[in-house]
Chain A
Amino acid sequence: MSYIVPIGPYHPALEEPIHAKLYTEGEVIKDAEVFVGYNHRGIEKLATERNAIQTLVLVERVCGICSHSHALTYAMCVEQINGIEVPKRGEYIRVITAELERLHSHFLWLGVACHIIGHDSMFMHIWDERELIMDLLEELSGNRVNYAMVTIGGARRDIDDELKAKLLKSLDKLKGPMDRIVEIALNDKTIALRTKGVGVLKKEDAVRIGAIGPHARASGVDVDVRRDSPYCSYGDFKFDVPVQESGDVFARVVIRALECYESIKIIEQALRNLPDTPINLGNKLLKIQKGSAVCRHEAPRGQLTQMVVGNGGFNNHRVSIHVPSYKNTPTIPFMLRGNSVADAGLIIASIDPCFSCLDR
């Protein structure tokens, strides 16, 4: 018997609205389609009526999890158009915030993945440790989400010696529990049985559809903007880019777990070598000069691209935001084919989707 099974836009296994239509033959999914656009807020349109500082606030609200990434990429675009050189210390603080954000985003996803496969004790362990990272972000920026750490020409808040020592100590404290979490994730039978061989995305499909970020790296595509096209002093730090070949949900768990270690490595290097320069160039409102810029940032979910066009006035002429989920969502039908209906929720969630980002 063949049925069409609709999932979403509101569904317990989805944190955000997406609609998937599954064409099934018995238990097996033969084909699938995804529909997005349930969260469109017209942010790109609104940005054309805002000046640079207002837009920083606006783009930060595109997404709750990767809010720093949006503000950072927008600031990079404006700095490129206006030819602003950011002080080193400002760049380092931006990197520290970005990596803390990646840590908290990956912990969040690992927790959610464990929850979906029914491993709730693991979910609670992971989210317990995530609180430590949230506390660090709160200490650093004053906020748990929407950190407002970026301004045009640098960072908005400094890290003093006391906070630096505290951050380093807390990261050390995080390593023990992290080792335990990674060990369970890699060796636990419950997780392996529900994720190994599920939702496989082949390397050639990933390349053709343009998957990016941890999702692509789990399918053997070696891409990372931080390494390939360094920005924001990322060239100063030593870190590895983990790549897995199998392309199933298990590989995505492994990639995100391993990336947490790399983020800690980067934060530690940045904190230890914090340069002694000003953190920004002042908060004077500037005109966005004539010209355009395209900047990319490796957000927790992959490459975030923004284009900003200025026309010499205070307001943007055009801001165009394209998030990693924009590239990763079209891969969902390819992963669903041949899997059982019961795994559909897990497979959709395995790209770490962010549909409020995607719809803008």
Chain B
Amino acid sequence: MQAYKRTDISKDQVVPIAEKMRKAGVGLVMIHGYLNEEGKMDISWDYAVEPVIESYHVVGEDTLPTISGIYDEAAAWPERELNEIYGTVFEGLDMSKRLFLPEEMLETQGKGHIMVTPLEELRAKNIKEG
């Protein structure tokens, strides 16, 4: 079984940790995100400190700093994806273009994003739009 170590951090610690990890040559596995049961965003930066995944969580923030300046596309793509499906804003990241979803699905902040909207609503919308 693979080991997984969770640490809760604040928003200000995201960039220093990324810089430290990059310096140590540790790879960024992924930036994961989900809405927890209280409806707050739980975003985690997972680093592969072999053989353990060190996971740093920030809970309940809608605006976060980007680490795409440190990890380049390895961070930029997951950040753009999270912006598309949940509407989380990463400050300093170019989010003008879509990564996966069509341009028409670009809606106002925190509304209408695919992972937030109930499936029934998305289905009805799809049928209406043909």
Contact = CB atoms under 8 A, between A and B. Distances in A.
Interface of A: 36-37, 40, 42, 44-46, 48-49, 76, 79-80, 207-210, 212, 223, 228-231, 292-296, 303, 305, 307, 309, 311, 317-318, 320, 322, 326-327, 330-331, 359-360
Contacts of A40: 100-101
Interface string B79-105: 000000100000000000011111000
B6 to A, nearest CB: 8
A307 B29 CA distance: 11
A49 B119 contact: yes
Given A80-B4, A330-B77, A307 B100 contact: no
A226 to B, nearest CB: 11
Contact of B72 (A37, A49, A209, A296): A209
Contacts of B77: 326, 330
Contacts, number: 102
A42 B74 contact: no
A228 B71 contact: no
Contacts of A36: 99-100
B73 A45 contact: no
B2 A231 contact: yes
A207 B99 contact: no
Contact of A44 (B51, B102, B115): B115
Contact of A223 (B27, B51, B55, B119): B27
Interface string B1-35: 11110000000000000000000010111101111
A253 B80 CA distance: 32
A37 B30 contact: no
A37 B2 contact: no
Contacts of A230: 51
A331 B78 CA distance: 15
Contacts of A46: 119
Interface string B45-80: 010101111010000000000000001111011100
A359 B101 CA distance: 9
A42 B98 contact: no
Contacts of B115: 44-45, 48, 318
Nearest to A312: B37
Interface of B: 1-4, 25, 27-30, 32-37, 46, 48, 50-53, 55, 71-74, 76-78, 85, 98-102, 114-115, 119, 122
Nearest to A230: B51
Given A208-B74, A210-B27, A322-B78, 5 more contacts: A209-B73, A229-B53, A303-B29, A305-B30, A305-B46
A295 B2 CA distance: 7
A37 B74 contact: no
Interface centre among B33, B34, B35, by most A CB within 10 Å? B34
27 contacts: A37-B100, A37-B101, A37-B102, A40-B100, A42-B114, A46-B119, A49-B119, A76-B2, A207-B25, A210-B27, A210-B28, A210-B72, A228-B51, A229-B50, A293-B4, A294-B30, A294-B46, A296-B29, A296-B53, A307-B30, A309-B36, A317-B37, A318-B35, A320-B33, A322-B30, A330-B76, A330-B77
Contact of A228 (B50, B72, B101): B50
A234 B61 CA distance: 39
List 8 A-B pairs, minimum CB-CB distance, nearest first.
Answer: A210-B74, A330-B73, A229-B51, A318-B34, A37-B100, A228-B50, A307-B32, A40-B100
B29 A317 contact: no
A331 B76 CA distance: 13
A294 B101 contact: no
B2 A296 contact: yes
A208 B73 CA distance: 8
Contacts of B72: 208-210, 330
Contacts of A223: 27
B2 A80 contact: yes
A231 B1 CA distance: 5
B4 to A, nearest CB: 6
